[in-house]
């Protein structure tokens, strides 16, 4: 699970406490209905972080109208952060990216960058640069076959979201040199006044996740080593 801690850096060490408090950026956290899941919009003036998307219903009923308000105000998402692949956290992200189109379109909302650990970040090897015809066939299979463990953890959706991000040419884990979002890592600067410090996941947790993800993909019939470039997405 990706666990970010957001820090406000406004104020300097030479100011007294009252002056620093007066200059602190107001932080607004909006929690959207997501049943047993999460979807949070954390805002600092013109900086907006969406942490998880809940279910598809969360996106359709709650995120879409909120994005419309932001877009009318000339705002965008600085980061879309997917903490993990439980359905109640990631399910709404797939229709969101599909509806948004590619990064030149931004039909719903502009997104500066996405944080999402998919199989490509867990498996050691070369990353794909695009989606092959074989990859598109695999995406179709992912979208129709389904894959979940106990009805909650969805590796199908994790890989489907990855394919949509690649297809739409979204900036993805660029804060981490396009590698995995992993702790410890130096604080990530989002704006002049805001940084994010990661608490999780560690490299050890990601290694365990890779084994689990690979096992689940094999269980639903994917030949990983013949299609490894795509499944790293």
The mean pLDDT of 223-231, rounded to a whole number, is: 43
Supply the pTM of this predicted model. 0.75
**What pLDDT is stored for residue 158 in this prediction?**
77
Distances (CA, A) of 58 to 32, 157, 162, 175: 7, 16, 20, 27
**What pLDDT is stored for residue 160 in this prediction?**
82
- 162-212: pLDDT as tens digits: 888 988 999 999 999 988 898 888 999 988 878 899 898 888 888 887 787
Using a 10 angstrom Cβ sphere, with 0-12 exposed, 13-18 middle and 19 or more buried, the burial of residue 95 is middle
Q: Which tokens belong to 152?
A: 């909650």
Q: Which of the four pLDDT bands, split at 50, 70 and 90, describes residue 213?
A: confident
Please give the Cα distance from 211 to 231 (Å, whole number): 13
- What residues contact residue 85 under an 8 Å CB cut-off, 6+ apart? 153, 154, 155, 157, 158
- 26-83: pLDDT as tens digits: 889 999 999 989 999 999 888 999 999 999 999 999 999 999 999 999 999 999 999 9
**What pLDDT is stored for residue 26 in this prediction?**
83
Q: Which of the four pLDDT bands, split at 50, 70 and 90, describes residue 137?
A: low
Structure letter (DSSP) for residue 34: -
Q: Which of the four pLDDT bands, split at 50, 70 and 90, describes residue 8?
A: low
Distances (CA, A) of 161 to 22, 44, 90, 199, 200: 41, 27, 8, 24, 21
**What pLDDT is stored for residue 29 in this prediction?**
95
Q: Examine residue 90 and say whether the peptide bond preceding it is cis (omega within 30 degrees of 0).
A: no
**What pLDDT is stored for residue 209 in this prediction?**
79
pLDDT at residue 105 greater than cutoff 50 = yes
- 71-102: pLDDT as tens digits: 999 999 999 999 988 888 889 999 999 999 99
Q: Which tokens belong to 219?
A: 């269980």
Domain residue ranges in the chain: 3-231
Q: Which of the four pLDDT bands, split at 50, 70 and 90, describes residue 146?
A: very low
Look-up: residue for tokens 């994005």?
67
């Amino acid at each position: 699970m990706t666990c970010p801690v957001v820090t406000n850096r406004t104020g300097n060490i030479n100011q007294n406490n009252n002056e620093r408090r007066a200059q602190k950026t107001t932080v607004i956290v909006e929690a959207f209905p997501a049943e047993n899941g999460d979807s949070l919009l954390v805002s600092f003036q013109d900086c907006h972080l969406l942490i998880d998307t809940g279910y598809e219903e969360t996106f359709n009923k709650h995120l879409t109208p909120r994005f419309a308000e932001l877009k009318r105000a000339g705002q965008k998402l600085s980061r879309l952060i997917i903490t993990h692949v439980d359905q109640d956290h990631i399910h709404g992200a797939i229709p969101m990216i599909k509806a948004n189109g590619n990064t030149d379109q931004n039909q719903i909302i502009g997104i500066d960058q996405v944080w999402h650990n998919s199989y490509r970040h867990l498996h050691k090897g070369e990353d794909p640069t695009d989606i092959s015809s074989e990859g598109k066939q695999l995406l179709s299979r992912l979208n129709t076959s389904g894959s979940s463990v106990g009805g909650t953890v969805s590796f199908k959706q994790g890989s489907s979201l990855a394919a949509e991000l690649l297809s739409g040419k979204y900036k993805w884990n660029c804060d981490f040199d396009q590698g995995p979002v992993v702790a410890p890592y130096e604080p990530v600067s989002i704006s002049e006044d805001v940084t994010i410090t990661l608490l999780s996941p560690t490299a050890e947790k990601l290694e365990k996740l890779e084994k689990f993800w690979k096992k689940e993909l094999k269980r639903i019939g994917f030949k990983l080593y013949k299609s490894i470039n795509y499944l790293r997405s």
